[in-house]
Chains A and B, each alone.
Chain A
Amino acid sequence: MEIEKVKLIDMYRIMLRIRRFEEQCAREFAGNRIPGTVHLYIGEEAIATAVCANLNTDDFVTGTHRGHGHVIAKGATTDKMMAEIYGRETGYCKGKGGSMHIADPDIGILGANGIVGGGICVATGAGIACEMKGKGQVTVCFLGDGSTNEGAFHEGVNLAAIWDLPVIFVIENNLYAEKTRISNATRVIDLSDRCRSYGIPGVSIDGNDVLKVYETAGEAISRAREGQGPTLIECKTYRWHGHFEGDAQEYKGKEEADEWKAKDPLKRYRDYLLENGILSEAEADKMDEEMVQEIEDAVKFAQDSPFPSPEETEEDVFA
């Protein structure tokens, strides 16, 4: 598949943005500078990046509690994200949502979601709107392996299936639901096999291969735009960090973690771009430096922003 050079480079920039943002979140958390906790997407960047590279601004996505990557990939800016994580009034949700609820409906982000599987039926509903509006929009539902054991998965995917809704369900199987290994939570090895329960196409792929994800998601999204209904895509990947920051991760073996870190999607993609002469080493390094600067600026923006006034607590309940 031929992908334009500018798209290839854009995807690298977005993967970098997610990685550097998440690394910074880990530092902010460790430094006790942010309230609450964060669930980091490090190691899974290829999925959100490649899927969203196929989307338009008016397409919709629903995310998960591990949602920073999804919203960055859909076009959210890191300054307003960091401000939200800092609980400041300049954040995406004016400090009312925090890390697990970052949203920007203007660019189709219907929110990260603090409930495992909580976004699935919402995505199906957005798919109803896409179909009824008749403008060829689609909705992508990002979900974790853990949510495939939720009732919401069954109801939401089934409804999308029977109505041929333009919804693409992207399972990010990072092997762990909170601290429970997926093999202890289901007998199904390839989670896309569950597509057969709903009579829709499904495929399991290497979620750390950005080009494979781009191609697979692209086909599914095209089918959805043409009215051919939903697809279930399982992207196999690995969560480098804990369920939340501060998680001791006693349930993970070092060997397993090392094995997956050797399959780092960001490094793999960088190597690909260098080997194929799409980027030079100097260009790649420069992009990285610029990204580090962007994230530093985002932290400064957050820290310089005021907290919301207490009275703001009672605003925004009703339209």
Chain B
Amino acid sequence: MKELMLTQAENQAFDEEMERDPDVFILGEDIGLYWGGPFGQFRGLIEKYGPKRVRETPISEKAILGGAIGAAAAGMRPCAAMMFVDFLGCAFDEMINQLQMRYMFGGKIKLPLTIVANIGAGFSTAAQHSKSMLGLLMGVTGLKIVVPSNPYDAKGLLKSSIRDDNPVLFLSHKKLTPITQQIPDEEYLIPLGKADVKREGNDVTVVATAYMVQVALSAATKLQEEGISVEVVDPRCLIPLDKETILGSVEKTGRIVTVSEDPKTCSAAALIAAMVAEEGFDFLDAPIKVVSCPATPVPFSPALESYYVPDEENIIQAIKEII
């Protein structure tokens, strides 16, 4: 066991998968010698695997993602490093029109590629470096979406993402970076599409994603002192979504609050709430509450940004409204 940060756990996952499969390679901006990615998740890989397998690109998001799609179509297993998820905006044709090759070709091709990007606000980097876009991206067809909430999950999920024969978008929240966790020395995988109950409880279910899982866990600890027992479910993957675990939890508690860090209009939390309304209505003893961000760009000033991002208080308030 080793105590590792999220980015170190991800680094191990890349290293192990590159070691295991010569078809795995990474392409992206500043992933090599001088930076190793903005959070160091690629550090040391170029020294070990060389510039053909850790390919430092120009700032060309269309070519990074389009290149990954083409390489996957032609038999490789690429990882496209997009830096911040906001930058996918520059490659949206590739996201919504080219990534769908398998379907358009009648299932004749596999696209085993992983798109890795950082998400999330909290660092005063404003509207173009702070988004999460979870719900928006859930509408992209033919794409699996993985959102780890801690280093252990991140490693096991990233390894599964790289081995998956489909396009997978792997989103790491920046605020998870300082969290450390014991990571086993032996190899492990976490399957895509399997939620994890991060805390068991009986009174209310909170389904939260990415960093919001950590916030929900803090809220649950506080509410415990008030005698409210909160179950925290982490879907870990938004596509495919483990409906069974979510609905099973709602069946037990009869109440649900969904939480995600993206604009409520089409947030991951809103989409999960809609699923529960449609498929789990009979389990509900109270209305569903959705905790997401306002439908605004991410603001810059800490005073505004802290209002924008859901916090413990928002979650506690939502829970109390339905208890």
Residues of A whose CB lies within 8 Å of any CB of B are: 60, 62, 91-97, 101, 103-106, 110-111, 113-115, 118, 120-133, 139, 151-152, 155-156, 158-159, 162-163, 315-319
**Which residues does chain A contribute within 8 Å of B76, judged by CB atoms?**
128-129, 132-133
B122 an interface residue at 8 Å Cβ cutoff? Answer: no
A-B contact pairs, 19 of them (CB 8 A): A93-B106, A103-B104, A103-B105, A110-B74, A113-B98, A115-B98, A118-B93, A121-B62, A121-B63, A121-B66, A124-B67, A129-B74, A129-B75, A132-B23, A132-B25, A139-B74, A158-B58, A159-B67, A319-B107
B65-93 vs A, Cβ < 8 Å mask (1 yes, 0 no): 11111111111101000000000000001
Given the complex of chains A and B, what is the CA–CA distance between A115 and B104 in angstroms? 13
Given the complex of chains A and B, what is the CA–CA distance between A124 and B76 in angstroms? 13
**Which residues does chain B contribute within 8 Å of A156, judged by CB atoms?**
62-63, 66-67
Contact of A122 among B52, B61, B73, B102 (CB under 8 A): B73
Is B105 a contact partner of A101 (Cβ separation < 8 A)?
Answer: yes
B10 an interface residue at 8 Å Cβ cutoff? Answer: no
**Which residues does chain B contribute within 8 Å of A114, judged by CB atoms?**
97
A94-B107, A120-B66, A158-B58 known; A125+B72 contact, CB < 8 A? yes
Given the complex of chains A and B, what is the CA–CA distance between A113 and B105 in angstroms? 11
Given the complex of chains A and B, what is the CA–CA distance between A151 and B169 in angstroms? 23
A120-B66, A159-B57 known; A125+B106 contact, CB < 8 A? no
Given the complex of chains A and B, what is the CA–CA distance between A156 and B60 in angstroms? 8
Known contacts A60-B74, A103-B101, A126-B74; can you find 17 more A-B pairs with CB under 8 A?
A96-B103, A110-B101, A115-B98, A121-B66, A125-B78, A128-B71, A130-B74, A131-B52, A133-B76, A152-B66, A152-B93, A158-B58, A162-B58, A317-B102, A317-B141, A319-B102, A319-B112
Is A103 a contact partner of B108 (Cβ separation < 8 A)?
Answer: yes
**Which residues does chain B contribute within 8 Å of A125, judged by CB atoms?**
66-74, 78
Determine how close the nearest CB of chain B comes to the CB of A191; give it in whole angstroms: 20
Determine how close the nearest CB of chain B comes to the CB of A43; give it in whole angstroms: 27
Please report which residues of chain B, range 37-61, place their CB below 8 angstroms from some CB of chain A when the two chains form the complex: 52-53, 55, 57-58, 60-61
A121-B66, A126-B70 known; A93+B104 contact, CB < 8 A? yes
**Which residues does chain B contribute within 8 Å of A96, judged by CB atoms?**
103-107
Determine how close the nearest CB of chain A comes to the CB of B74; give it in whole angstroms: 3
Is A316 a contact partner of B103 (Cβ separation < 8 A)?
Answer: yes
Interface size class of B (residues with CB under 8 A): 35 or more
B262 an interface residue at 8 Å Cβ cutoff? Answer: no
Per DSSP, chain B at the interface is mixed
Given the complex of chains A and B, what is the CA–CA distance between A159 and B76 in angstroms? 17
Closest chain A residue to B22 by CB distance?
A: A132
**Which residues does chain A contribute within 8 Å of B71, judged by CB atoms?**
125-126, 128-129, 132
A152-B62, A159-B57, A159-B63 known; A92+B70 contact, CB < 8 A? no
Closest chain A residue to B113 by CB distance?
A: A125
**Which residues does chain A contribute within 8 Å of B102, judged by CB atoms?**
316-319
Determine how close the nearest CB of chain A comes to the CB of B70; give it in whole angstroms: 2
Given the complex of chains A and B, what is the CA–CA distance between A74 and B104 in angstroms? 19
CB-based closest 4 A-B pairs = A125-B70, A121-B66, A316-B107, A129-B74
Please report which residues of chain B, range 1-49, place their CB below 8 angstroms from some CB of chain A when the two chains form the complex: 23, 25, 27
Determine how close the nearest CB of chain B comes to the CB of A270; give it in whole angstroms: 34
B251 an interface residue at 8 Å Cβ cutoff? Answer: no
Closest chain A residue to B108 by CB distance?
A: A105
Is B66 a contact partner of A128 (Cβ separation < 8 A)?
Answer: no
B195-217 vs A, Cβ < 8 Å mask (1 yes, 0 no): 00000000000000000000000
**Which residues does chain B contribute within 8 Å of A129, judged by CB atoms?**
70-71, 73-76
Given the complex of chains A and B, what is the CA–CA distance between A39 and B65 in angstroms? 27
Determine how close the nearest CB of chain A comes to the CB of B286; give it in whole angstroms: 34
Is B70 a contact partner of A158 (Cβ separation < 8 A)?
Answer: no
Closest chain A residue to B90 by CB distance?
A: A151
Given the complex of chains A and B, what is the CA–CA distance between A105 and B61 in angstroms? 25
Is A111 a contact partner of B101 (Cβ separation < 8 A)?
Answer: yes
B305 an interface residue at 8 Å Cβ cutoff? Answer: no
Is B63 a contact partner of A319 (Cβ separation < 8 A)?
Answer: no
Is A126 a contact partner of B63 (Cβ separation < 8 A)?
Answer: no
A129-B76, A155-B62 known; A122+B98 contact, CB < 8 A? yes
Determine how close the nearest CB of chain B comes to the CB of A215; give it in whole angstroms: 27
Contact of A94 among B57, B65, B106, B165 (CB under 8 A): B106
**Which residues does chain A contribute within 8 Å of B74, judged by CB atoms?**
60, 110, 125-126, 128-130, 133, 139
Contact of B52 among A105, A106, A132, A155 (CB under 8 A): A132
Please report which residues of chain B, range 125-148, place their CB below 8 angstroms from some CB of chain A when the two chains form the complex: 141-142, 144
Given the complex of chains A and B, what is the CA–CA distance between A315 and B142 in angstroms? 11
Interface centre among A62, A101, A132, A156 (most CB of B within 10 A): A132
A115-B93, A121-B62, A155-B60 known; A101+B69 contact, CB < 8 A? no
Determine how close the nearest CB of chain B comes to the CB of A310; give it in whole angstroms: 15
Determine how close the nearest CB of chain A comes to the CB of B99; give it in whole angstroms: 10
Given the complex of chains A and B, what is the CA–CA distance between A95 and B107 in angstroms? 11
Given the complex of chains A and B, what is the CA–CA distance between A62 and B97 in angstroms? 14
Closest chain A residue to B240 by CB distance?
A: A318
B267 an interface residue at 8 Å Cβ cutoff? Answer: no
Determine how close the nearest CB of chain B comes to the CB of A163; give it in whole angstroms: 7
**Which residues does chain B contribute within 8 Å of A124, judged by CB atoms?**
63, 66-67, 70
Contact of B106 among A162, A316, A319 (CB under 8 A): A316
